[in-house]
Amino acid sequence: MHLEIRQTKDGSNTLYVPELNEHYHSVHGALQESQHVFIRHGLEHMLEQKKDLKVLEVGFGTGLNAILTFPAALAKKAFIQYDTLEKFPLSEETVKQLHYENIILNPELHERFYQLHAAAWNQPVDIIPYFTLQKIHESLEEFVAPQSYYDVVYFDAFAPEKQPELWSDAMFEKLYKAIRPGGVLVTYCAKGSFKRSLKAAGFEVEALPGPPGKREMTRGVKPLIRS
Ligand SMILES: C[S@@+](CC[C@H](N)C(=O)[O-])C[C@H]1O[C@@H](n2cnc3c(N)ncnc32)[C@H](O)[C@@H]1O
Nearest CA to ligand 1 atom 5: 61
Indicate whether 227 pLDDT > 80. Answer: no
CA of 224 from ligand 1 middle (Å) equals 29
pLDDT reported for residue 196: 97
* Amino acid present at 122: N
Closest CA to 182 of 206, 162, 152: 152
pLDDT > 90? residue 143: yes
- Provide the residue ranges of all domains of the chain, joining segments of one domain with +: 29-221
The CB of 156 under 6 Å from ligand 1? The reply is: yes
| Residue 158, ligand 1, Cβ within 6 A | yes
Atom of ligand 1 lying closest to residue 143 CA: 20
What is the residue with the minimal CA distance to atom 19 of ligand 1?
139
Protein residue with least CA distance to atom 8, ligand 1: 64
User: Could you tell me if 181 and 225 are in contact, meaning their C-beta atoms sit under 8 angstroms apart?
Assistant: yes
Q: What is the mean pLDDT of residues 149-162?
A: 98
Least-confidence region, from 69-78, 165-174, 200-209: 69-78
Q: Which residue in 193, 221, 190 sits closest to 207, CA to CA?
A: 190
Ligand 1, closest atom to CA 30?
8
Q: What is the mean pLDDT of residues 160-170?
A: 97
Q: What average pLDDT is seen over the chain? A: 95
Find the mean pLDDT for residues 153-166.
Answer: 98
Instruction: Please determine, for residue 70, whether its predicted confidence score (pLDDT) is greater than 90.
Output: no
Task: Tell whether ligand 1 has an atom less than 6 A from the beta carbon of residue 85.
Answer: yes
Neighbours of 161 (CB within 10 A): 11
pLDDT-derived band at 101 (thresholds 50, 70, 90) equals confident
Going by C-alpha positions, the residue among 21, 3, 218, 59 that lies closest to residue 13 is 3
* Closest C-alpha to ligand 1, atom 15: 87
| Superfamily for the 29-221 domain | Vaccinia Virus protein VP39 (3.40.50.150)
Q: For 10-49, what is each residue's pLDDT tens digit?
A: 999 999 999 999 999 999 999 999 999 999 999 999 999 9
Q: How do strand 52-58 and strand 150-155 relate by DSSP bridges?
A: parallel
Confidence at 106, pLDDT banded by 50, 70, 90: confident
